[in-house]
């Protein structure tokens, strides 16, 4: 796994007399955690339609002291895991991408929602070493990777977590994303797309991009088609993987509400910055929306979901 390669690079300057310790760290400490906790009869792998959710859980702190992003607050705040689990369960989903997840919370939420999980902090041993991204799933998680994608400063490197699962007889890679809110270029998005280009088969992107729907930093790299580039007389991007925004693919009442209300509950200025992006080649979007109103309080983000159907 790429996470194993990352670990070796991270530890490469340590003396050879620590080889055994390095091996232990590589196997147990650096790669994403995987917990296949759910008891299953295996019938879910035959699904052709399934629901995906994205949810930035704000470390479990709820909406208290909105705008406070200090490490001290996130460590010391009262955690509301029961409310988060209720929100996740409010729209039955097969896969849930989580962001701003503290160590231990992914496993706890997986147990509370009867799901499997994978989790890694953004930067094991460094910035954001105690919080990161997770994926919960009713499908068995076959593999997981941690890929560092950078930030506006190398000192605050961010990462993505992927989970490979077999759905309708084919492996799908689901990726939980949380790019930095102070990005000045599309560097992180290009890194994500480079990783995706190294994969084969369907990919679903889930997460908090901290970018508006029309932001060129991700539109140019993810949504723009070869025909768009030809129309604009521009050189096309290198990646040939094209994703669609599930909220824009359907005009159901719930999708319209998600586009209007946004997903980040900033006072007087809500924004849509959380997305589920699918490859049109592999998936058809059937519906999208926000969780019911009573479940929009456990975080400063609203949980957003999409119902998709596999075309293969």
Residue appearing with tokens 């994926």 = 135
Nearest-angstrom CA–CA distance, 276 and 56: 13
Whether 155 has a pLDDT exceeding 80, the answer reads: no
Question: What band does 8 get if pLDDT is binned at 50, 70 and 90?
Answer: very low
Nearest-angstrom CA–CA distance, 308 and 292: 19
Task: Name the average pLDDT for the chain.
Answer: 87
User: Model-level pTM?
Assistant: 0.88
Specify the pLDDT at position 154.
67
Q: Tokens at residue 121, please?
A: 């902090």
Longest dimension (CA), the chain: 63
Domain spans, the chain: 1-31, 35-310
User: Closest by alpha carbon to 213, among 159, 249, 251, 241?
Assistant: 249
Whether 157 has a pLDDT exceeding 70, the answer reads: yes
- Please give the CATH architecture assigned to the domain spanning 35-310: 4-Layer Sandwich (3.60)
Q: What is the mean pLDDT of residues 147-173?
A: 89
User: Closest by alpha carbon to 55, among 106, 123, 20?
Assistant: 106
User: What is the per-residue pLDDT across 81-115, written as a single tens digit (0 to 9) for each?
Assistant: 999 999 999 999 999 999 999 999 999 999 999 99
Q: Helix (H, G, I), strand (E, B), or coil: what is residue 20?
A: helix
Pairing of strands 95-102, 49-56: parallel
């Amino acid at each position: 796994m790429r996470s194993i390669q990352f670990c070796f690079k991270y530890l490469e300057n340590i003396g050879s007399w620590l080889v055994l310790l390095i091996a232990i760290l590589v196997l147990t400490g650096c790669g994403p955690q995987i917990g296949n906790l759910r008891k299953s009869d295996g019938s879910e792998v035959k699904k052709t339609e399934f629901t995906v959710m994205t949810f930035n859980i704000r470390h479990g702190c709820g909406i208290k002291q909105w705008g406070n992003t200090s490490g001290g607050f996130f460590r010391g705040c009262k955690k509301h895991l029961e409310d988060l689990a209720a929100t996740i369960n409010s729209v039955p989903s097969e896969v849930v991408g989580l962001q701003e997840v503290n160590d231990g919370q992914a496993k706890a939420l997986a147990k509370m929602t009867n799901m499997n999980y994978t989790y890694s902090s953004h930067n094991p041993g460094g910035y954001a070493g105690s919080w990161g991204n997770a994926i919960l799933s009713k499908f068995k998680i076959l593999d997981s990777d941690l890929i560092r994608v950078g930030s506006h400063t190398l000192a605050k490197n961010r990462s993505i977590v992927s989970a490979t699962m077999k759905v309708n007889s084919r492996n799908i890679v689901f990726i939980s994303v949380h790019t930095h809110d102070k990005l000045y270029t599309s560097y992180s998005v290009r890194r994500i797309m480079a990783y995706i280009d190294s994969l084969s088969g369907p990919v679903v992107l889930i997460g908090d991009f901290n970018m508006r729907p029309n932001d060129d930093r991700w539109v140019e790299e993810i949504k723009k088609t070869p025909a768009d580039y030809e129309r604009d007389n521009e050189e096309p991007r290198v990646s040939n993987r094209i994703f669609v925004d599930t909220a824009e693919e359907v005009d159901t009442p719930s999708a319209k509400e998600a586009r209007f209300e946004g997903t980040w509950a900033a006072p007087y200025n809500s924004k849509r910055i959380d997305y589920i992006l699918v490859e049109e080649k592999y998936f058809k979007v059937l519906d999208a929306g926000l969780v019911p109103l009573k479940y929009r309080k456990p975080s400063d983000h609203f949980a957003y979901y999409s119902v998709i159907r596999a075309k293969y």
